[in-house]
Structure 1
Amino acid sequence: MIRFGVIGTNWITDRFLDGASQLDRFQLHAVYSRTDEKAKEFAGKYNVEHTYTDLEAFAHSDAFDAVYIASPTALHSQHAITCMKGGKHVIVEKPFASNEVEVRAMIETAKQYNVTIMEAMKTPHVPNFNRLQESLEKIGPVRRFVANFCQYSSRYDKYKEGVVLNAFKPELSNGSLMDIGVYCIYPMVALFGKPERVKATAYMLESGVDGEGTVTVDYPSLNGVCMFSKITNSEIPSEIQGENGSIVIGKFSDMKDIKVVYKDGTEEKVDGEQQENSMYYETKSFIESIENNEIENNVNTWENSIETMRILDAARKEIGLVFPADEVSK
């Protein structure tokens, strides 16, 4: 049994716990929040006894073994490093951190304290991602990768009214590239590795973050296009184009509704059944890494996280998106 603590009491933590609760090796034992009221309110929903408002006390508690971190991105590195120094294994919500410097510091801490650290990018762990990978040979040499994830934020209406919530604050290392674009970029890296060139464009909001944007990359034999937005919706599927056909993906973040469309127009459905809450799979893999004494997950590897962050950093440089965390990391 792996006893978990959580940092963050928002909807994504609820969703993580819903997926994790389907694993018989998972138990929630502790909750950290900045305020005692929020910590106890969240803990009460799950009948959890241990609550903390002091990060050091939380990190060094003997009430749990591993922690799920869903604090604002600007705090990921600090929270993860503090918990690892307390001997805790950590799974950190995407994006892993604010920049590459922070990611490398997190990885070095995991090595030093011999604990598992993994980015909570769910997509490569779902069964349909494996089915997609296995289908690449069916479409011949791949020449173009197009990932599309545009989702109108429930917080954008408030933004237009003059209320800037966390999702649109640069001091929290947020914006559409970090929050949404990473869902497009990480799987591309998992499939094709490190690109040779990165370019980016974006529509910048007055708060200082991007509302929507596009990242394009070049590989030796293919081009990649990643489109993302927090201020518009899109009904266009994602697609991997090859010389003999294309793989069309309806919902890219969960890898749902996948089919191969061959040159002659025939279609082959290649997706299958998987858990409705896809966060189940990342949690299962993380727990297996802990049980196998692997400080690096074999799917969400450190190199994938580093390379994804390199692309995010390069894209931010292109569009002029600077975070306070960048100055601290210098």
Structure 2
Amino acid sequence: MVRFGIIGTNTITEKFLQAARQHPDFEFTAVYSRTEERAEEFAEKHGAAHTFTSVQELAKSDVLDAVYIASPNSFHAEQAIVCMEHKKHVLCEKPMASNQKEVASMINTARTEGVLLMEAVKSTLLPGFRSLHDNLHKIGQVRRFVGNFCKYSSRYDAYKEGTVLNAFNPKFSNGSLMDLGVYGIYPMVVLFGEPKTVHANAVMLESGVDGEGSLIAEYEGMEAVIMHSKIQHSYAPSEIQGEKGSIIIPDISEPEGIEIYYKDGTNESLTPEDVYDPMFYEVQEFISLIKNQQSQSLVNSHENSLVAAKVMEEVRRKIGLVFPGDL
């Protein structure tokens, strides 16, 4: 069994636990929250035996082997480094950190301490994405990647009424790019590597973060177009356009129902049957890496996380979005 502690007691953590419990080697043993009341409430609801109100004490504890971090983005680096310095493996929610400097520090700590660090980008570990990757050659020379993820945030209603929650607060390294744009950027990096140049635009909100935006990344012989938003919804799919056909991805955040449409009018389904919750596969990858004593994932690798952070930092430079962690 791999004993997990959790930092963050929010909706994403609830979904993580639901998926993780489908893995036979997952055990939830400890939870951190800023208040003892919330920690105990969460532990009782989900069956954890230990609670902590100090990340340092959680990291030092011998009741866990690994930590899943789902706190606000601005806390990821500091919390992950503390845990890794105490020999805990870290599965960190996307985006990995506020900027590439923090991501590099996290990677260096993981290597120094000999522990596993992996960014919890679920989409690139799903069976549908793996099938897409394996069949990409069928559409010939790729000329354009379109990653579209625009999802109206329920927190935007509160924002419009004058309440700025974490999702729209630059203090926590949030905004549309960080929360949703990463769903297009990370698979772009996994499939095509680091772009040569990046151009970007955004609609900025008075709170100081981007409400929505787009970017064009230039590659040799192709381009990638990423669209993201937290202030309007899109029903358009994502797409990879090649000279022999196009791959249609209905939901870039959970790639399934993927099809190739060839130039001759035929089509082919690429999606294998999913048996587990979408977040299960990142847990499966993470636990497998621990058991095989591997230092990083081949898919959600350190290099891919660093390049994704670099791209997002360049986008923020172009749109004028600065986080406290950048200073």
Give the TM-score taking structure 2 as reference length: 0.99
1:252 equivalent in alignment to 2:252: yes
CA distance in 1 between partners of 2:276 and 2:167 (Å):
25
> Any conservation in 1 of the 2:123–2:255 contact (CA below 8 Å)?
yes
Unaligned runs of 5+ in 1: none
SS at match of 1:167: helix
- SS of equivalent residue, structure 2 residue 14: helix
Kindly report the root-mean-square deviation, in angstroms, between the aligned alpha carbons of the 2 structures: 0.8
Indicate the SS of the match to 2:241.
strand
For the pair 1:179 / 2:179, whether they are aligned, the reply is yes
Post-superposition offset of 1:87: 1.2
The DSSP-based 3-state class of the residue aligned with 2:288 is: helix
2:129–2:256 contact (8 Å) kept in structure 1: no
Matches within 5 A, 1:171-320: 171-320=171-320
CA distance in 1, matches of 2:275, 2:72: 27
1:115 corresponds to:
115
Return the alpha-carbon distance in structure 2 between the equivalents of residues 276 and 259 of structure 1.
Answer: 21
Q: Which moved more, 1:296-305 or 1:95-104?
A: 296-305
Q: Which range moved further: 94-103 or 249-258?
A: 249-258
Counterparts of 1:156-167 in structure 2 under 5 Å?
156-167=156-167
Runs of 4+ aligned structure 1 residues displaced above 2 Å come to: none
Local SS of the residue matching 2:257: strand
Q: CA deviation at 1:277?
A: 1.8
Aligned to 1:27: 27
Shift of 1:266: 1.9
Quote how far apart the aligned CAs of 1:276 are. 4.9
Give the Cα–Cα distance (whole angstroms) in 1 for the partners of residues 108 and 88 of structure 2. Answer: 14
Measured against aligned partners, the alpha-carbon deviations of 1:65-123 in whole angstroms (never above 9, x if no partner) come to 00000000000000000011111100000000000000010011111111110000111
CA contact (8 A) 2:140 2:244 kept: yes
Q: Show the counterpart of 1:91.
A: 91
Cα deviation digits, residues 2-57 of structure 1 (max 9, x gap): 00000000000011111100000000000000011110111011121200001111
Q: Which moved more, 1:292-301 or 1:316-325?
A: 292-301
CA–CA separation in structure 2 for the residues paired with 1:305 and 1:247:
24
Structure 2 stretches lacking a partner, 5+ long: none
| CA–CA distance in structure 2, aligned partners of residues 119 and 142 of structure 1 | 27
Note the alpha carbon deviations across 1:220-256, whole angstroms, 9 max, x for none.
Answer: 0110000000001001011100011100111111102
Assess if the C-alpha contact under 8 Å between 2:212 and 2:231 holds in 1: yes
Contact residue 32 and residue 52 of structure 2 kept, 8 A: yes
Q: Distance in 2 between matches of 1:325 and 1:277?
A: 33
User: 1:134: how far off?
Assistant: 2.0
Question: 2:199 touches 2:216 (CA, 8 Å); kept in 1?
Answer: yes
- Whole-angstrom CA distance in 1 between matches of 2:105 and 2:275: 34
Is residue 2:9 matched to residue 1:2?
no
Query: What SS does structure 1 have at the residue aligned with 2:96?
Result: coil
Task: Specify the alignment match of 2:69 in structure 1.
Answer: 69
- Whole-Å Cα distance in 2 between the matches of residues 299 and 46 of structure 1? 30
Displacement of 1:257 in angstroms is 1.6
Provide the residue aligned with 2:17 in structure 1: 17
Residue 152 of structure 1 corresponds to which residue in structure 2?
Answer: 152
Question: Following TM superposition, by how much is the alpha carbon of 1:267 offset from its aligned partner in structure 2, in angstroms?
Answer: 1.7
SS in 2 for 1:185: helix
> Equivalents in 1 of 2:315, 2:9: separation in Å?
30
**Separation of aligned partners in 2, 1:293 and 1:315:** 35
Name the aligned partner's letter for residue 250 of structure 2: G
Using the TM superposition, give the Cα deviation of residue 60 of structure 1 relative to its aligned residue in structure 2, in angstroms. Answer: 0.2
- Which is worse superposed, 136-145 or 93-102? 136-145
Separation in structure 1 between the aligned mates of residue 249 and residue 9 of structure 2, nearest angstrom: 32
Query: 3-state DSSP class of the match of 1:281?
Result: helix
Structure 1 position 294, deviation (Å): 1.1
1:227 is matched by which residue type in structure 2?
M
Using the TM superposition, give the Cα deviation of residue 135 of structure 1 relative to its aligned residue in structure 2, in angstroms.
2.0
Query: Normalising to structure 1: TM-score of the pair?
Result: 0.98
**Paired residue secondary structure (1:39):** helix
2:54 corresponding residue in structure 1: 54
| Equivalent pairs, count | 327
Aligned to 2:81: 81
**What's the CA shift for 1:265?**
2.1
State the Cα deviation string for residues 206-227 of structure 1 (Å, max 9, x = none): 0000000001100001100000
